[in-house]
Amino acid sequence: MKAVILAAGIGTRLGSLIPKPLTSLVNEKTILDFQVERLANLIGIHNIIVVVGYKKEIIMEKFPELMFVYNSAYAQTNTGKSLLAALRKIDDDVLWVNGDVYFDAKVPELLMNTKYSCCLVNRKKCGQEEIKYNLNEKRLIHNISKHVPNPQGECLGINLIRKQYLVSFRNELEKLENQDYFEKGLENLTISRKLNLEPVDVGPLYCNEIDFEEDLKAVTDYLSK
């Protein structure tokens, strides 16, 4: 298995002058420090690829042992094209993580132990900005986007696709517009019944995507306890 961390974006909503994955959480340990440590413990550091763009040198100098893919169009593209850049280098099962997500150490195992491709989800009420999902009659994910009728919770920014669906997924990402999120590629496959996408409930484990100052405070408060 390979792991991809999407760390190319500018992250304007947090208002930082450094790449958002380098945001410090506790004892100068950053979001990316936590992500790399936890993924490396499961699959080995040589199986982690980081997609970089904005101020890429800062990330690359801090993590010289990692493999990197550069999205040169990071200012004009979104997560769909960043993920595609990494998947072009991979022919294995792939777990990928948005670069602004803090997660407990046991969270990736939840996804790795599934039969299908999957998304980490919760079952909470969502706001406008969250990526939401609903399920089909087989209790698999049907819609996945910011605009979902009757959403059943939030997708938390950690996903896994099995090797046999990788070519189909890459093809869908190729078709996306530059500003599309990767979730649109997943949704195109689930709606057309070309992909079984399982919702994996985070349960009592902690996972939080850090978009705004209140998200950052929630994570640092959690870690302080």
Domain coverage including residue 122: 2-224
Over residues 84-111, the pLDDT tens digits come to 999 999 999 999 999 999 999 999 999 9
* Residues 160-176: tens digit of each pLDDT: 999 999 999 999 999 99
Q: What is the pLDDT at residue 67?
A: 97
Cβ contacts of 121 within 8 Å, gap of 6 or more? 133, 152, 153, 154, 155, 156, 199, 200, 201, 202
- In angstroms, the CA 109 to CA 3 distance is 12
Query: In the structure, what pLDDT confidence band is assigned to residue 16 with cuts at 50, 70 and 90?
Result: confident
Average pLDDT over residues 188-192: 97
pLDDT of 157 higher than 80: yes
Q: What tokens were used for 87?
A: 């998947």
- pLDDT tens-digit series, residues 24-33: 999 999 999 9
Residue 214 banded pLDDT, cuts 50, 70, 90: very high
Residue 120: which CATH number? 3.90.550.10
The three-class DSSP label of residue 60 is helix
How confident is the model over 45-61, as pLDDT tens digits? 999 999 999 999 999 99
With contact defined as beta carbons under 8 Å apart, do 169 and 87 qualify? yes
What integer pLDDT is reported at residue 11 of this predicted model? 77
Q: According to the model, what pLDDT value does residue 13 have?
A: 73
- Helices within 46-191 (DSSP H only): 56-62, 79-87, 107-112, 166-175, 182-191
Digit-coded pLDDT (tens) for 65-86: 999 999 999 999 999 999 999 9
Q: Which of 127, 113, 101, 85 is nearest to 198 (CA)?
A: 113
Averaged confidence pLDDT in the chain? 96
**Identity of residue 23:** T
Q: What is the C-alpha separation between 60 and 50, in angstroms, rounded?
A: 9
Tally of domains within the chain:
1
Task: Report the pLDDT value the prediction gives residue 10, as an integer from 0 to 100.
Answer: 87
Q: What pTM value is reported for the model?
A: 0.96
